Chain A
């Protein structure tokens, strides 16, 4: 998947969690929580929906890396490039 495709997937999931988000004004470099009324539960839901949507596992320790659009795309690109690293396993295989 290329960066553009991953970006549109992340935005789709973001809007599913917080449909009031105005995508046109989203600053990709800024933390989601600094731009929207986004609480901790929203953020966890975002991570869980990304896992389901993309068929990957995101260890909770990596969550902070996905706190902005740029960060999420970077993380998911690297996970796609290296399936052995974080993000490469199937859902449910993480040590939760």
Chain B
């Protein structure tokens, strides 16, 4: 496809070596070595030459666009910071959202950061239980959400969330329900002048929840210094520059939706496209075309769902402005990379990072031809290695190409997480010998490219979510007919892994289709569709270790008819 008049690539201008110190120097900063994400993303543009440039183009479900310039975004976020201040919210308080990609989300995120509060977005597809456990663990002080979400999920639990001082409702046509306050009315009444808080590199800014094998979800904390890595990685891994129309399709509940769906493009001074509707393949093709998207950051699940649409429909649109496509969430298969180049005229660039890393770490980078199926190479300033944990502590670095091991990153990059909320011990377990241990198993080839193999733990990668089996098992066990439950991921051609549960019914309970349906409904009602199992099977017993832990790996192998591996720790009585 012919390409003309495309915005120049930042690589033409900055070369390929924008290390973290250069990136830091390109930011405005605050007096006294201060740093604030909202100041970098909004204020410096709102007060500068880009003040009338469109910062965010919000697309309503009808398709109607609303543009917010940097100047308007600056005023709205100042107003919201003032609203929070009047409500008694201050530095370090947690401001939660249960919103989609809509104007209130961006105003809340950036207004909270401007005030020095901590922003914590939740997935709107979560059910009441994941929402409650995260808000309680995160000590939510303010929640911004829609009336529908409030009435369905929050109102019943509101009295039990003692620290939740304010709930602000964004769709206030019928007024705010009792116990809540109207978001936009408060905003309209507030001043649009607000000095940015005196935050530093070390001030906590973002809180995202992710999952491991065990326990409650982990609250991952990042500081304002993360913005340095957001900026640098956007150049290297997304080829993003100030003239771009950038579309990140991730929901803000996923860290990608915050770091690259809000922060990075605004820091860059680009225009961010924000579609409030859910996935619809043909709508997405139209958005790419009609809004002349130049850089697109999406997920393998979305790409594979678009592949199903058929090339004819995809090719029926004009993508001549589309310069760069990147993907993250789970491994992007080689066929999808090749398909992307055929239909969009530009290849797909897979990259890798985690909630804990706070920014893209390894990528098929803008200045190198992508290697289909690979995660890519470490970004400038990032040192990666393949390691093996030793039984008595410490690690061994596996230098031989092709060796399978755990992906580790040398500590010290700006967006490295600063802790798990209230769990220092769990945080410390992530590090050994000056390396962060990711829990992802990889290989590295002779050319230094990394290839994803699987998780080292039992966490499930499904449609971009990292799902902890324990959270689901606990909900199933709460059902009166369930004696035991084991949860694991099974391969899925679209969403990488689908959550499957194997349930042992209580004695005297009939394991039939009616029970399966009841358990499925029970899990979806409490957990929401993104986390609840997509499939439930029944068994008489689950394989366990001698110490009573479910052997999910063995359960999965048995269910899928795979080799069962080492059975030495299996309890022979089960």
A contact set with B: CB distance below 8 Å: 15-16, 18-20, 33, 37-45, 59-61, 63-64, 94-96
Contact = CB atoms under 8 A, between A and B. Distances in A.
Given A19-B517, A41-B534, 5 more contacts: A37-B528, A39-B529, A39-B530, A44-B305, A59-B310
Main secondary structure of the interface of B (DSSP, over half): helix
Interface residues of B, number: 31
A45 B492 CA distance: 12
A38 B310 contact: no
A54 B281 CA distance: 23
A32 to B, nearest CB: 11
B21 to A, nearest CB: 41
B513 to A, nearest CB: 10
Interface string B298-319: 0001000101111111000000
B280 A63 contact: yes
The 7 closest A-B pairs by CB, nearest first: A40-B279, A19-B521, A20-B521, A95-B310, A60-B309, A19-B517, A39-B529
Nearest to B277: A33
Contacts of B190: none
Given A40-B279, A41-B495, A44-B494, A96 B307 contact: yes
A64 B125 contact: no
Given A37-B127, A61-B309, A42 B529 contact: yes
Contacts of B127: 37
Contacts of B309: 60-61, 96
A16 B536 CA distance: 12
B282 interface: yes
Contacts of B455: none
B312 A41 contact: no
A16 B520 CA distance: 9
6 contacts: A19-B518, A40-B305, A44-B494, A60-B282, A60-B305, A61-B282
Contacts of A63: 280-281
Given A19-B517, A64-B280, A41 B310 contact: no
B529 A19 contact: no
A44 B280 CA distance: 10
Nearest to A34: B148
Contacts of A96: 307-310
B446 to A, nearest CB: 37
B202 interface: no
Contact of B529 (A41, A61, A94, A95): A41
A56 to B, nearest CB: 16
A41 B494 contact: yes
A48 B529 CA distance: 17
A94 B311 CA distance: 11
A39 B278 contact: yes
B525 interface: yes
A59 to B, nearest CB: 7
Interface in B351-386: none
B524 interface: yes
B170 to A, nearest CB: 16
Nearest to A33: B278
A41 B463 contact: yes
A38 B529 contact: yes
Contacts of A37: 125, 127, 524, 528-529
Contact of A60 (B278, B313, B528): B313
A37 B301 CA distance: 19
Nearest to A15: B517
A19 B517 CA distance: 6
Contact of A39 (B125, B307, B310): B125
Nearest to A64: B280
A18 B494 contact: no
Contacts of B494: 41, 44
Nearest to B281: A60
Contacts of B301: 41
Contacts of B278: 33, 39-40, 43
Contacts of A19: 517-518, 520-521, 524
B262 to A, nearest CB: 21
Contacts of A16: 517
Contacts of B283: 64
A60 B312 CA distance: 11
Contacts of A59: 310
Contact of A18 (B281, B495, B524): B524
Contacts of B310: 59-61, 94-96
Interface in B488-520: 494-495, 517-518, 520
Nearest to B283: A64
A25 to B, nearest CB: 13
Contacts of B280: 63-64
